[in-house]
Structures are given as structure tokens and as C-alpha cells.
Copies of this chain bind each other. A is one copy, B any other.
Amino acid sequence: MAKIRERNRELIIRAASKVFAEQGFAAAKTVDIGELAGVPKANIYYYFKTKQNLYSSVLESVIEPLLAASDPFYEHDDPRVALTEYIRAKVKISQQQPYASKVFASEIMHGAPHLPPEIAEQMLQQTRQSSARIQDWIDRGLMAPVDPQHLLFTIWASTQTYADFDWQITRVTGKDQLEEEDYQAAADLICQLVLKGCEVKSP
């Protein structure tokens, strides 16, 4: 039954996200993933054939939301609104998909050896379009002249850090885990730095 197949794949991917995020690809043991998912190890190989395939599936599960986060750049002509929405979307991903975010970060940090080239290309294209959009706002005098690429790097880093380095952040804030208001405060500060820092105006 196809239903069972889909459900089990989903269960395994969810468990794998957590284990890969916490241990890294090489240190992650398929037996642990199986235990967390509630299935014997052999079933993982039945569904995904190899550990690599499972890892790729986890990776792909975060790609779609990651790409969708850029939508605000094209939905809003007002840079103030677009940048605010973009930053909020990025923070939301860190909040809602912390494991997949970590897996993605780890993949990039090690040179993206398992990222399908077409996905890397797709993300690169999107970055070019986002940069061009920012440059357009600058040309129209709606923002101070900044390097669009470096601005994007800063936004990526400061929004993703709430997923990737949550250990550090929870230690400093003294909380067991981050709450809604923390993510809110994070997004607000990043928005403030970007909007004021780039002197963003409404058209």
C-alpha cells in the first residue's frame, strides 16, 4: 500500500533529520535513526537503499522552504516591506526546521559534497536575482549604496544562526530552549540593523 510507504518514508526522514543534525553525516548511525523512527535498521535500507540516499532526502526536504523564502523580493516593490518579510521568513525557517537547517548548514560548511548540482545552480540563480533586485532599489535611491551580495550574506548568517548555533544562544540567554518571543526579538533586531543601516526608504 502506497500510504504505508509514504508514511514510513516520512517517519524515517524526520528521525534522520534529527540524528544527522546532531551527529553529522559520518557520525550518524543508521541503527540510531531506525530506533528513533521506530523501525528496524533494515527497513531504512529497504526504503532508501543507502545512507547517502537518506541523507539526500533530508537535504531536499529543506530546499523548498529555503527557496520559497525569497518570494518577498518579488511580491513587494517596497524594499522596506520586502526586506522585512524576507528576514521574517528566514528566521521562521530556523524556528520551524531547526534540524534540517543544521544539516543544510553542515553540508555547505563542508563544501556541499552531496548537494545536487542543479539545486546549487538554482540557489545561485536566485541569489543573482535577489542581488539585482537590491541593486535596483539602490539605483532608484530607495537604499544607501551597499554591496547587495554582502548584505545577503549578513542576512543569511544572522537569521540561520538561531538554528545552527542554538546551543550557544540558549546558553547565553539562559533558556532551555528559544521561544516565540526570542525569534521575534531576533527578527526585529536584524530588521532594524538592515533597514536603518541601509537607510531604506519607502517609494
B contact residues around A120 at 8 Å (CB): 171
Closest to A191 in B: B197
For window 86-138 of chain A, which residues contact chain B by CB distance below 8 Å?
102, 105-106, 108-112, 120, 124, 127
Main secondary structure of the interface of A (DSSP, over half): helix
> A157 touches which one: B146, B165, B195, B197 (CB < 8 A)?
B165
* A201 vs chain B, min Cβ distance (A): 14
Total interface residues in chain A, CB < 8 Å: 51
Task: Decide yes or no whether A25 CB sits under 8 A from chain B.
Answer: yes
Cβ-defined contact, A160 with B158, below 8 A: no
Fill in one digit per residue for A8-47: 1 if any B CB lies within 8 Å of its CB, else 0.
0000000000000011111100000000000000000000
CA distance A194 to B194 in the complex (A): 9
CA distance A127 to B22 in the complex (A): 25
CA distance A25 to B23 in the complex (A): 10
B contact residues around A127 at 8 Å (CB): 172
* A–B complex contacts, Cβ < 8 Å, 7 sampled: A23-B26, A105-B165, A108-B165, A112-B168, A150-B189, A154-B189, A197-B197
